[in-house]
A and B are shown apart, each in its own frame.
Chain A
Amino acid sequence: MRRAAGPLVLALCLGALSCTAHRGVRDAARAVDKGSVVESNGGEYVVTWRSEPAPIPLDEAFDLVVHVRPREPRAADLALAVDAVMPLHQHGMNVVPDVHALGDGRFRVEGMFFQMAGDWEIRFDISEGALTERAQAAVQR
């Protein structure tokens, strides 16, 4: 079937722009099965994470191994909360996972659970004192 080239080129351009704008999310989605690195939205922290097991299972509990570091190396007393949502459905997980601080910005998140197939977004809320920054990673399951 022949298709007009103009709209295709336009679509590709728009797609490229969109991809650039959401590079962090896209990269996270692509790398999710082998672990991923995302930056917090304020740029203060870098979050390295992977799931156990990998890839993230559907309809079954899984854990996350998370390392949070200040972008500029320094001592930091960090706390972490983790959630996941389905933006298109406007709901999240039906569970609250247990977050265990292991020291040095390392955390183990137990009991994550994706109950539905589709587009998920894992949200890492990093708190240092009274300040909180969020990092998020897109995951398709």
Chain B
Amino acid sequence: MSMGRAIAGLVVLAVAAGAALVEAAGAALEVAAGAALAEVAPPIPPAVDLPATPPLTDAQRKLVLSLSPLPPPPADPTNSVGDDPRAAEIGRRLFFDARLSGDGTISCATCHVPELGFGDGRRLSRGLADLPRHAPTIWNVAYQRWFFWDGRADTPWAQAIGPLEHPDEMAGSPERLVAVLRDDEALRARFVDLFGSLPPADASRDAVMRAAVNALKSIAAFERTLVSAPSPFDRFVEAVRKGDAGAMTALSPEARRGLVLFVGKAACVTCHSGPLLSDREFHDTRVAPLGGGAPTDPGRFEGLAKLRAAELSAGSRWSDAPAGKQAALSRRLVKEPRQWGEFKTPSLRNVALSPPYMHQGQFATLMDVVNHYDTLDGATPLGHHSESILKPLGLTPTERSDLVAFLESLTGEGAAEAAAATRPGGADQK
């Protein structure tokens, strides 16, 4: 009897005798995930053999289904042009425009390189000078709640002013940004068409800021388009929902075993939850700083202070929803000692495209990341006020490889081509 027929048989047994029998029989993941759906979608008899996978508990099965699909990005009420394709096109052009920087050599794309998963491939990024952190990918940034590793911005357009103005990154300014718009005929025409006017060179600071914020919101509109396509993992979950055992082969046996670990023994899903595979909040990963020694980067602890002091934010006068939900959430944020050294949980979608990993690029490969969370060898000590989520996992070498296989299955189909097409002259240029 083929494994596929055996699985189909087990589904019947599971319905008749309950989940305990499924577990006792060592049923495949497909059975465990599909049993709950059997009432609404009878499983299609598989046409191919499916290698056995450890069983999932009901809770784990629910978790798997909660990880996919990735829905459309949530609306951003703070940015009234966030979903306007005209703004996105202006933003795309600005994103790749090095004229925004003080010396004309650095653009957003210097650190967020489409061909490098919208990261830069470096441990620590380099703008006009060396920077203290690794450039995070901006794939799926529209789903984030906080921006930068330390969350010091609460909207993507408020984030964009940070690197633009920082003397070590682009050393630009709102005035320079508006001047680029004014001096570029094509950009000026697009901007005036959408926003009505551009301030003259001798305009007030307020008028310049209004135009600059509109440009930043346009950059954010472009970034909102960077949504990853369905991955093999998404195809697998879709197949689980439909009870389509044949389509479950979208995920390799190794990746399927990795998924079981992800929601089970390894408990990665504790922080890498939801369709973004991130809780979008901040944690102490206990990763030692580059070069060793005691951690010196305050992370979220300092990010909160910077957010409160920021001129541009969801609750600022530059926001299109200053009394909205995001502004209320930011206003209520608490600053506590435990947040010292916490950094934002990155999304794992497309994670294989943007090594190295962690806030200083401490780990060159996904295996290095898995090894860290598995053993916590070399981890920074827990502080008196620290959260205590991480525990050594005791994974076998095969389990570690399976987890990496699962992480690699999260790459959206056609991601590299889609990223490259965003460049000026790329396939999607309008």
Q: Which residue of A lies closest to B66 (CB)?
A: A117
Question: Is A98 among interface residues, defined by CB-CB distance under 8 A?
Answer: yes
CB of A117 within 8 A of CB of B329, answer no
Q: Which residue of A lies closest to B330 (CB)?
A: A95
Known interface pairs A91-B338, A116-B281. Does A98 touch B270 (Cβ–Cβ under 8 Å)? no
CB of B333 within 8 A of CB of A95, answer yes
Count, chain A residues at interface, CB 8 A: 19
Q: Which residue of A lies closest to B332 (CB)?
A: A95
In the assembled complex, the CB of A30 is this many whole angstroms from the nearest CB of chain B, namely 17
CB of A89 within 8 A of CB of B332, answer no
Query: Which one of B82-90, B385-393, B410-418 is at the interface?
Result: B385-393
Contacts of A89 in B (CB 8 A): 387-389
In the bound assembly, the distance between CA atoms of A97 and B331 in angstroms comes to: 10
Question: Is B159 among interface residues, defined by CB-CB distance under 8 A?
Answer: no
Known interface pairs A90-B387, A116-B279. Does A1 touch B24 (Cβ–Cβ under 8 Å)? yes
CB of B270 within 8 A of CB of A118, answer yes
CB of B329 within 8 A of CB of A111, answer yes
In the bound assembly, the distance between CA atoms of A117 and B271 in angstroms comes to: 9
Question: Is B201 among interface residues, defined by CB-CB distance under 8 A?
Answer: no
Q: Which residue of A lies closest to B339 (CB)?
A: A94
Q: Would you list the 10 A-B pairs with minimal beta carbon distance, nearest first?
A: A95-B332, A91-B387, A1-B24, A90-B388, A111-B332, A115-B281, A96-B334, A89-B387, A89-B389, A90-B387
Can you report 20 residue pairs joining A to B where beta carbons are below 8 Å apart? Answer: A59-B280, A88-B388, A89-B387, A89-B388, A89-B389, A90-B387, A91-B338, A91-B387, A94-B334, A95-B329, A95-B334, A96-B333, A96-B334, A98-B332, A111-B329, A113-B329, A116-B279, A116-B281, A117-B270, A118-B270
Interface residues of A (CB under 8 A from B): 1, 59, 61, 88-91, 93-98, 111, 113, 115-118
